Structure 1
Amino acid sequence: TQASLLASRAGLPLAEVLAGLPQLAGVLSREEATALLDPAGYTGVAGPLVDRALTAPGLGRAPAP
């Protein structure tokens, strides 16, 4: 996105650039942007992937030689 490019070129954190965009004024603070961009808070589809793996046929068997 344009914000990512600007952050990269200017050497600024993406959260700072996003918080400074007029389109996001009053909608997203820098702190909120930082929290949303923190990969530690994003699990995505990990839950369904783990559930699928745990119920997969052959779970717990030794791999074939």
Structure 2
Amino acid sequence: MDAVSASIEQQSGVDCDKLKCVALTFDDGPSTVNDSKLRDELDKLKVKATFFMIGKNITSSTS
């Protein structure tokens, strides 16, 4: 495991060697239409998620 993965595991308290984990990346965002659909589905399934955005893409509507 690389240092970044180890740090994330330590901070989250999730050990992906013991639990089922998945990581998805989306390169075409943010999208007000698709992001809200994705968040709604994750919420319905009670799935935790973290979204990262680069600073120039953050506006008052996305924060």
The two structures have a TM-score, normalised by structure 1, of 0.23
Which structure has the greater CA radius of gyration?
1
Q: Which fold has the larger relative contact order, with Cα–Cα distance below 8 Å and residues 6 or more apart in sequence?
A: 2
The two structures have a TM-score, normalised by structure 2, of 0.24
